[in-house]
Chain A
Amino acid sequence: DVKVTQSSRYLVKRTGEKVFLECVQDMDHENMFWYRQDPGLGLRLIYFSYDVKMKEKGDIPEGYSVSREKKERFSLILESASTNQTSMYLCASSSETGQGYTEAFFGQGTRLTVV
């Protein structure tokens, strides 16, 4: 059974703290993603990575950074947490199939509250 595991389901952090969200996948996928999910806005891409040590900005990268030192692990870093970063964060991984189809597998999400 394929699995994307996010290290925490719920987190409460203080404004200004450095926050690490961890994600691990066991499917040997090349691509990994971080999204944030907000009501009425759907899923917005923060960063993605298509290989170890490679990263690309998504649509809303400001205030975030990422790290991918190993293929199976993709970390999202909030350098200095702010209240507007209170959200649900979703990690996903994907790999291209031979037929050109693909599927993004999601973790269960981390609900982060910044106070």
Chain B
Amino acid sequence: QQQVKQSPQSLIVQKGGISIINCAYENTAFDYFPWYQQFPGKGPALLIAIRPDVSEKKEGRFTISFNKSAKQFSLHIMDSQPGDSATYFCAARQNNFNKFYFGSGTKLNVKP
């Protein structure tokens, strides 16, 4: 049973457009929500992260929106670029264990 549900599985966006990836969870013991970016042949790397006491975090073109009551969070990539083409994973950490649960991943393709 997937602890973190991620959608869509794949996404095609035109250059300059907005990419939106959504995640949902049930476990209220999760206390930290990172997003990872993975390029082909590489391991995932941390992109941006949020704690549940904040509703939004922005770093450059990347924004996490967090809705604690709905147990949902999303990644928005503004002005998407071909270099953003990668697989994105949302994740959630279970508190006190530093144990991460990952979503199933979204393969983003930004067309020039």
Interface size class of B (residues with CB under 8 A): 20 to 34
Query: A43 and B102: CB pair below 8 A?
Result: yes
Query: A35 and B98: CB pair below 8 A?
Result: no
Query: What A residues does B60 contact at CB under 8 A?
Result: none
The segment out of A12-20, A62-70, A76-84, A102-110 that lies at the interface is: A102-110
Query: A31 and B32: CB pair below 8 A?
Result: no
Residues 84 to 112 of chain B near chain A (Cβ within 8 Å): 89, 91, 93, 97-105
Query: A33 and B100: CB pair below 8 A?
Result: yes
Query: What A residues does B97 contact at CB under 8 A?
Result: 50, 56
Query: A101 and B102: CB pair below 8 A?
Result: no
Query: B41 and A104: CB pair below 8 A?
Result: no
As a 0/1 sequence over residues 11 to 53 of chain B, the CB contacts with chain A under 8 angstroms (1 = contact) are 0000000000000000000001010100001111110010100
Question: Residue B9 at the A interface, CB < 8 A?
Answer: yes
Task: Choose among A31, A40, A44, A102 the residue with the greatest number of B CB atoms under 10 Å from its CB.
Answer: A102
Which residues of A approach B to under 8 Å, CB–CB?
Answer: 4, 31, 33, 35, 40-45, 48, 50, 56, 58, 90, 92, 94, 96, 100-109
Extra pairs beyond A94-B100, A101-B49, A103-B46 (14, CB < 8 Å) = A33-B99, A35-B102, A42-B2, A42-B104, A43-B44, A43-B102, A45-B99, A45-B100, A48-B99, A102-B93, A103-B34, A105-B46, A106-B43, A106-B45
